[in-house]
Amino acid sequence: MNITAAPPLRRPRHGKLARKRRLAGMLLSIPAIILVAALLWTPIVQAVRYSMTNWNGYSAPVWIGPGAYASAFGDPIVRRVLENNALLLLAVPFAIGIPLIIAALLHEHVRGWRFFRSVYFLPTAISWVVIGMVALQFFADKGILNQLLSDVGLGSIHTDFLASEYSALAALAITFIFSMIGTNTIIFLTGMATLDPTLIEAARVDGLSRLQIFYRVTLPLLTRFIQFSFVITVISAFSALFSLIFVMTGGGPGLGTTTLEFFVYQAGFAQGQFGTGALYGVILFVIMIIVGIGQLRLIRTEDGEGW
Amino acid sequence: MTAASSPSAPPAPEAAAPDTQRTSGEPLAPVSRWQSARFRRRVAASIIFAAMIVIAIVMFYPFWYMGDNSFRNQAQFDQQSGHSLAGWTQLFQVLPVVHELVSSTIVCAAAIAIILVVATTAGFAFAKLRYRGSGLVFLLIIAAMMVPLQSIIIPEYVNLAKFNLMSNYTGAVLVYAALGAPFATFLMATYYRGISDELIEAAVMDGLSYERTFLRIALPLSLPAIATVTVLQFIQIWDDLLVGYLFLPTNDRTITVGLAVLSSGRTTGIPPLMAGSLVSAIPAIIVYLIFQRYLIRGLTLGMGK
């Protein structure tokens, strides 16, 4: 790929040494191939097969065929679940915008910014199970949010946020945004560290305000990093919320916070419908592929570069 | 030179009038204190500082909440006043804390060991020992990063049950290893590309086999990348719920799984749950604080510099 960039190759392409090298390469890559093929690629093929059956995991599976997908998309419950996923995507702009602002503040390098950076990234280290448990107390009937609301004279709003469908989904979305702040801030801060400071200085000398510099200089130069964090955030919104949902709502009330990934778990393991569960998993995979194509493109441009 | 934008930047020695030096770009006419760029910068810095403190309070809030409420009994929690050791003593009654911490450690160590073996060897092969089709194989391996766990969880469960791997740690360890391997391989390959071909070939000319060259030359050089993989995977696996919940036997649960199950039962009081949360969070926080540098590098490597 980078033949033009490499100096004249001193590695022989033919002969005994080259053969040894190829052989060693095959040998050393075998363990990774076996692991990934056995535990990631094989199951995805199996999942596609299972998805077209009616199977409870014990008795013999009954073949349905591709029609299983047609009936799934006609199911109002499935539509409701997909709607929840779509609504959760509304959290993505906040999960990117807030970290952008935080990174911009940190990048000003005011006194103590290293300490603040450590504090901001701290939640990145802990499990979303733990974050979910605290969030549960935050949004609860006698929780902190209701306390805060009554403290500022909005006590009339007092409600159990996790008890009605849409407020529970909103609570989940807010917790998700909080959980993404650390990772996305790291991404943007790294991006800002790559910017040429003389550009910013030049803009300052030209009389642009801080805000103008942020909008007109910093943001356009960060496009690549924003794209990357967008992909990460969307993937997380679709496939990393299990812990939060499990701890905070269990998918309820009703179907209020059941997303596709949680639905896979419920169908497969709570209701024992392996075929249907696998089908939801395949739908999730297809959505991820569509999102992931962007990520692959980003990674490929990086091919051939070192650290 | 970011220092030039800092209000405390020392004046350049050759500058006759330090004040005009700092405000270059401003009109040279005398300006009032309120209009001076230096003063405005001070004000801006104070506003930023205040905003950062507010954000710090929000981000630290969960930790403060866990600490504060773990030292309460149920009545003190309901009243939100008074402290005691009740949360902590109850925790050890409702959760096999030590055993689950041991389980977490075993699962993490075993899975990370497998990930490091397959990712360093394959990463080196894909970077330095290319063979026909190795590019495609590499692409297939890193493309597996896009497979969401939920998409394969049911066949995975069926397969592990078939080979009877869910009665001990084996099944969960293998799944964690497989999930971590693609990104780790990508990261190691990226790192090994930075090592010069001459170095490898020179070692081979000296009579080492390629396999030994990997072990003796490349592997020691890649310790920083190995640290990155280790820290990233430790935090990921330690914090995971789904794999451990489905694939580990009930009496060998990790601390994160144990806590989540306890919490979802809705019968345990909040103080012991908060104490348990702190216990589960502390190892990850310590690792994070010590290896912050490596973690940040790993998280951002996906899109390069």
Asked if A151 has any chain B CB less than 8 Å from its own CB, the reply is: no
Asked if A264 lies within 8 A of B65 by C-beta distance, the reply is no
Please state, as a whole number, how many other Cβ atoms lie within 10 Å of the Cβ of residue B34.
8
Residue B123 domain flag: yes
Question: How many structural domains comprise chain B?
Answer: 2
> What is this model's ipTM?
0.88
Dihedral sign, Cα of residue A280, residue A282, residue A286, residue A289: positive
Dihedral sign, Cα of residue A215, residue A217, residue A223, residue A229: negative
Residue B15 domain flag: no
Residue B19 domain flag: no
pLDDT in tens, chain B (305 residues): 333 344 444 444 444 444 444 444 445 555 555 567 778 778 888 888 999 999 999 999 999 999 999 999 888 888 888 888 988 999 999 999 999 999 999 999 999 999 999 999 999 999 999 999 999 999 999 989 889 999 999 999 999 999 999 999 999 999 999 999 999 999 999 899 988 888 888 888 888 899 999 999 999 999 989 998 999 899 999 999 999 999 999 999 999 999 999 998 888 889 999 999 999 999 999 988 888 877 777 666 655 43
Among A108, A126, A200, the residue with its CB nearest the CB of B239 is A126
How far does the CA of residue A158 sit from the closest CA of chain B (Å)? 17
Asked if B299 has any chain A CB less than 8 Å from its own CB, the reply is: yes
DSSP assignment string, B196-248 = -HHHHHHHHHTT--HHHHIIIIIHHHTHHHHHHHHHHHHHHHHT--HHHHHHS
| Cβ(B49)–Cβ(A106) below 8 Å | no
Asked if A251 has any chain B CB less than 8 Å from its own CB, the reply is: no
Residue B235 domain flag: yes
d(CA B76, CA B160): 46
Same domain, B62 and B168: no
Please state, as a whole number, how many other Cβ atoms lie within 10 Å of the Cβ of residue B132.
9
Contact residues, chain B, for A15 at CB < 8 Å: none
Residue B67 domain flag: yes
Among A28, A119, A137, the residue with its CB nearest the CB of B59 is A119
* pLDDT of the residue at A195: 85
Look up residue A122 and give its two tokens.
């701290």
d(CA B66, CA B273): 9
Contact residues, chain B, for A302 at CB < 8 Å: 190, 303-304
Same domain, B164 and B69: no
Same domain, B106 and B217: yes
Question: How far are the Cα atoms of B2, B19, B21, B107, B194 from residue B7, in angstroms, in the given order?
Answer: 11, 11, 12, 51, 40
How far does the CA of residue A190 sit from the closest CA of chain B (Å)? 7
| Cβ(A132)–Cβ(A243) below 8 Å | yes
* pLDDT of the residue at B15: 40
Look up residue A262 and give its two tokens.
């949680």
Q: Which distant-in-sequence residues (6+ apart) come within 8 Å of B9 by Cβ? A: B3, B22
Phi and psi dihedrals of A272, rounded to 5? 65, 25
Rg of chain A over CA atoms, in angstroms?
25
d(CA A261, CA B67): 32
The 8-class DSSP code of residue B277 comes to: H
Residue B267 domain flag: yes
* pLDDT of the residue at B71: 93
**In chain B, residues 97-136 whose CB comes closer than 8 Å to chain A:** 114, 117-119, 121-122, 124-126, 128-132, 134-135
Question: How far are the Cα atoms of A186, A199, A226, A230, B44 from residue A192, in angstroms, in the given order?
Answer: 10, 12, 11, 16, 19
Dihedral sign, Cα of residue B3, residue B9, residue B12, residue B15: positive
CB-count burial class (<10 Å; 0-12, 13-18, 19+) for A280: buried
Same domain, B222 and B80: no
Query: Which residue positions in chain A have pLDDT lower than 50?
Result: 1-9, 302-307
Contact residues, chain B, for A131 at CB < 8 Å: 62
| Cβ(B51)–Cβ(A105) below 8 Å | yes
Domain ranges of chain A: 76-265+291-302
* pLDDT of the residue at B13: 42
The model's pLDDT over B131-165, given as tens digits with 9 standing for 90+, comes to 999 999 999 999 898 899 999 999 999 999 999 99
- Supply the range of the domain harboring residue B287: 95-301
Label each residue of chain A as H, E or C.
CCCCCCCCCCCCCCCHHHHHHHHHHHHHHHHHHHHHHHHHHHHHHHHHHHHCEECCCCCCCEECCCHHHHHHHHCHHHHHHHHHHHHHHHHHHHHHHHHHHHHHHHHCCCCCHHHHHHHHHHHHHCCHHHHHHHHHHHHCCCCHHHHHHHHCCCHHHCCCCCCCHHHHHHHHHHHHHHHHHHHHHHHHHHHHHCCCHHHHHHHHHCCCCHHHHHHHHHHHHCHHHHHHHHHHHHHHHHHCCHHHHHHHCCCCCCCCCCCHHHHHHHHHHHCCCHHHHHHHHHHHHHHHHHHHHHHHHHHHHHCCCCC
How far does the CA of residue B59 sit from the closest CA of chain A (Å)? 6
Choosing from B72, B90, B108, the residue where a domain stops is B90
Look up residue B290 and give its two tokens.
């010590």
Query: Tell me, which fold does domain A76-265+291-302 have in CATH?
Result: MetI-like fold (1.10.3720)
Same domain, B85 and B199: no
Q: What is the CATH number of the domain that holds B253?
A: 1.10.3720.10
Asked if B166 has any chain A CB less than 8 Å from its own CB, the reply is: no
How far does the CA of residue A156 sit from the closest CA of chain B (Å)? 21
- Angle B235-B236-B239 (CA atoms, 0-180°, nearest 5)? 80
Same domain, B51 and B178: no
Asked if A105 lies within 8 A of B55 by C-beta distance, the reply is yes
3 state SS of B141: helix
Q: Which distant-in-sequence residues (6+ apart) come within 8 Å of A78 by Cβ? A: A72, A263, A280
Asked if B292 has any chain A CB less than 8 Å from its own CB, the reply is: yes
Same domain, B86 and B106: no
Phi and psi dihedrals of A133, rounded to 5? -65, -40
d(CA A19, CA A26): 11
* pLDDT of the residue at A290: 86
Asked if B288 lies within 8 A of A278 by C-beta distance, the reply is no
Alpha carbon B299 to its chain centroid, in Å, reads: 8
| Cβ(A284)–Cβ(A261) below 8 Å | yes
d(CA A42, CA B155): 9
Look up residue A228 and give its two tokens.
């990357």
Tokens 């430790």 locate to B234
Same domain, B71 and B145: no
Same domain, B86 and B101: no
DSSP assignment string, B8-57 = TPPPPTT-S-HHHHHTBTB-SS---TTT-HHHHHHHHHHHHHHHHHHHHH
d(CA A174, CA B59): 13
d(CA B138, CA A303): 11
* pLDDT of the residue at B24: 46
Same domain, B216 and B132: yes
Helices A165-193 and A92-107 meet at what angle, rounded to 10? 40
Among A17, A43, A129, the residue with its CB nearest the CB of B152 is A43
Same domain, B136 and B81: no
* pLDDT of the residue at A212: 87
Tokens 């990357």 locate to A228
Tokens 């998993």 locate to A281
Same domain, B215 and B169: yes
Residue B26 domain flag: no
Choosing from B57, B90, B123, the residue where a domain stops is B90
